[in-house]
Amino acid sequence: MTEARTGAPPGSGRLALLIGGIVVAIALATVAATALGGPGRHVETGIVVSVDAVSLSDVRGFTIRTTDGRTVDFQIGHLENASSFPPGHLAEHKVTLVPVRVTYVDENGAHVAVLIEDAT
């Protein structure tokens, strides 16, 4: 009796499925981390209630009030989008009450903003 040979080693189909599953799991984890702000990152959304600034170009920190009534203080870190959302723009958000979405990391007990966006 002769067997038809496909050229693929036995069990290679299961290995391909396993590798494909691992790739899909990694892709889903990456998408989830990005949607949630990335590894070690957190996101808060609220209206700006105060801005600690010497001038529009020298903003040191700010505070937001979330929809559930919490106030959250932030220091300004190296902003990834400073050219599209300069820190001085926070003063306008304080006046207009347009909410902001803040992506931040915790460093030495402080929330350090790394990305600020309009939340609308």
Question: Angle at Cα 24 formed by Cα 18 and Cα 30, nearest 5°?
Answer: 140
Q: Are 119 and 45 in contact (CB under 8 A)?
A: yes
Does the structure show a pLDDT above 60 at 28? no
Q: Which amino acid is at 89?
A: H
pLDDT recorded at residue 49: 98
R_g of the chain computed on alpha carbons:
23
Partner residues linked to 64 by β-bridges: 48, 72
* pLDDT score for 26: 64
Higher pLDDT, 31 or 109: 109
pLDDT digits (tens, 9 = 90+) for 63-84: 999 999 999 999 999 999 999 9
Residue 15 is predicted with a pLDDT of: 76
User: Residue 96 CB: number of other CB atoms within 10 A?
Assistant: 10
Residue 59: band (very low, low, confident or very high) from pLDDT cuts 50, 70, 90: very high
Whole-number mean pLDDT of the chain? 85
N residues, the chain:
120
- pLDDT at site 34: 47
